[in-house]
């Protein structure tokens, strides 16, 4: 997927556009799943990479439908890793209808997340995408544990955070989702993992099929 995204960018389809398409399609699938979306309390948990950017785009689209959206960024805004995610972070910070919690004070961050996750109807996991390497550290480690204890409906973005997209191996822990919205094509590691992925929905994000033949 990384090579394919690079190839798409070479052909004029920017990673920022792919991120926009991914986040918008994710929002559409969530809206389709919940007919009363306007009454749902929604939490989006975003990491520092492009998976987090997908979640931010999704939050922006969902704010037209739901009155209660909270976004938790598992780092400080200054430490966001990719330019695409940085752009969407600057955008999302300006949307007053979305409650934003940036990881600054560790204790306060966990307290607020526990509080809101207890009443959340939907939690969207956009912590890690396909680029995760090594063991999961805090704050992501504790946040994943809290997500899994929540009674909310859990939606994974592309893959459940913590699972290897190639072989399905789990790091020390992973999000256990009720639904996984994966982009362009299903990843090998999430096949036959319904106890972790829940329902898997594959959505296109605007990458022409012929680009795969050029890899």
Q: Mean pLDDT score of the chain, rounded to an integer?
A: 95
Determine the pLDDT at residue 132: 81
| pLDDT at residue 6 greater than cutoff 80 | yes
Give the CA-trace dihedral at 161, 156, 214, 133, to 10 degrees.
0
Residue-wise pLDDT for 29-58, tens only, equals 999 999 899 999 999 999 999 999 999 999
**211, 8 contact by CB (below 8 A):** yes
Residue-wise pLDDT for 82-126, tens only, equals 999 999 999 999 999 999 999 999 999 999 999 999 999 999 999
Determine the pLDDT at residue 44: 98
Determine the pLDDT at residue 212: 81
Determine the pLDDT at residue 171: 74
pTM of the predicted protein model: 0.95
Phi, then psi, of 154 in degrees rounded to 5: -105, 130
Phi, then psi, of 20 in degrees rounded to 5: -60, -45
Round the CA-based radius of gyration of the chain to a whole number and report it: 16
In the sheet that holds 98-102, the strands lie side by side as 98-102, 68-73, 41-46, 122-126, 153-157, 179-183, 199-203
Average pLDDT of 166-193?
93
Distance CA 46, CA 44 (A): 6
CA 152 to chain centre: 16
Determine the pLDDT at residue 209: 87
Determine the pLDDT at residue 22: 98
99: which strand partners?
Answer: 70
Per the structure block, which two tokens stand in for 11? 């052909």
Determine the pLDDT at residue 173: 94
| Residue at token pair 């785009």 | 57
- Could you give all domains of the chain from N- to C-terminal order, each with its CATH number? 2-214 (3.40.50.10260)
| Residue of 183, 212, 182 whose CA lies nearest to 197 | 182
How does strand 153-157 pair with strand 179-183? parallel
């Amino acid at each position: 997927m990384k090579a394919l995204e690079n190839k798409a960018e070479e052909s004029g389809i920017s990673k920022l556009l792919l991120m926009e398409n991914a986040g918008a399609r994710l929002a559409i699938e969530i809206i389709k799943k919940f007919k009363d979306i306007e009454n749902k309390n929604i939490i989006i948990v975003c990491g520092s990479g492009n998976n987090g950017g997908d979640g931010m785009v999704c939050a922006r689209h969902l704010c037209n439908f739901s009155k209660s959206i909270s976004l938790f960024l598992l780092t400080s805004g200054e430490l966001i890793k990719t330019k695409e995610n940085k752009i969407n972070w600057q955008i999302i910070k300006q949307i007053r209808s979305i409650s934003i919690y940036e990881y600054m004070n560790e204790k306060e961050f966990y307290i607020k997340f526990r509080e809101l996750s207890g009443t959340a109807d939907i939690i969207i996991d956009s912590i890690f995408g396909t680029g995760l390497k090594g063991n999961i550290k805090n704050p992501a480690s504790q946040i994943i544990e809290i997500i899994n204890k929540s009674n909310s409906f859990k939606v994974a973005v592309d893959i459940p955070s913590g699972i290897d997209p190639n072989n399905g191996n789990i790091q020390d822990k992973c999000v256990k989702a009720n639904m996984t919205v994966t982009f362009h094509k299903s990843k090998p590691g999430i096949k036959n993992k319904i106890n972790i992925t829940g329902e898997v929905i594959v959505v296109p994000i605007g990458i022409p099929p012929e680009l795969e033949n050029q890899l």
